[in-house]
Structure 1
Amino acid sequence: MLLTAEHVLLNSTADSKRAVITELAEVLTSIDPDRVMEVVMAREHLGSTGIGHGVAIPHGRMPDLAAPMLALARHIHGVDFDAIDGEPVHIIVMLLVPDSDDRRHLELLAQLARNLQQSSFREQVMQAKNSRALSNLFSERIIAR
């Protein structure tokens, strides 16, 4: 399962892009949060991963990672993420993949973007009652292969 309930933050109160990425790095307890921050923020410096419609997909490749992982933060009020549409971001899905798996990285990014661009899916994410419901929603839509 790419997104476990333990890797979901239902009500982030972070006040910046860096703060929400820090929150997500800290829920991934099996990985050094400093390394996650280094990888993800390096990618953010290339250009924001805020894809519009209140969604951001910060991502990166991690050496020594055995399998792809997701972490999700839901921000009710929205956080400035330098999104391409200039709007606040409410759904932040962080994707980490093994360093050696470029193809899988791109496939997962495409699946996430495709699903999160659908307003009905975004509504389901925002209305989910708990972490388990969000985990199940993503396991139905994002194929781990």
Structure 2
Amino acid sequence: MADYEKAASSYVKNYYESYWILWKADKGQAFNDRFHKLTLAPRLEFLSMEALLSKSLLELSSDQRMAVKALRSLADKINKNSELIGRAEREEDFVLLIGKFRANTEMLASFYYLVSRMHQEAERFAYLALTNSEVVEKVNRVLGVSFEWQDLAKANV
């Protein structure tokens, strides 16, 4: 958990910067060369070993098990989008996938939120009844990420 907590905020920020560059390109601005230098999230292999998972799940509380299931689901969806993004070759291909970049930014925000809470709260962790939109909004506010048109237009990520 600690490793993912350290890395997840940078994953969110890098996907957001990629989205911002693509958003600007889609609006007619020149494609920013920084795009090709950004490191997106690696494949999330979160709890992929079944033996470890089955042993660990027995030791987790009900709320922690729900969070692990949510993290696995998020990781699967993020990885699927990342595979599509990885097939793109030209700048125009990436612009066509702008929705996948936004989706991954938002799912990584949720991933970051859950991993952070699970790591920080450990056995005290309680699954909160927040919508994904509420979680994403909280994380985005903390990380300085905004998908509002006026913020994207003036941003210099």
TM-score past 0.5 threshold: no
TM-score by length of 2: 0.28
Query: Which one scores higher on RCO, CA 8 angstroms, separation ≥ 6?
Result: 2
After TM superposition, the score normalised by the length of structure 1 is 0.29
Between Structure 1 and Structure 2, the one with more helix by share is 2
Larger Rg: 2
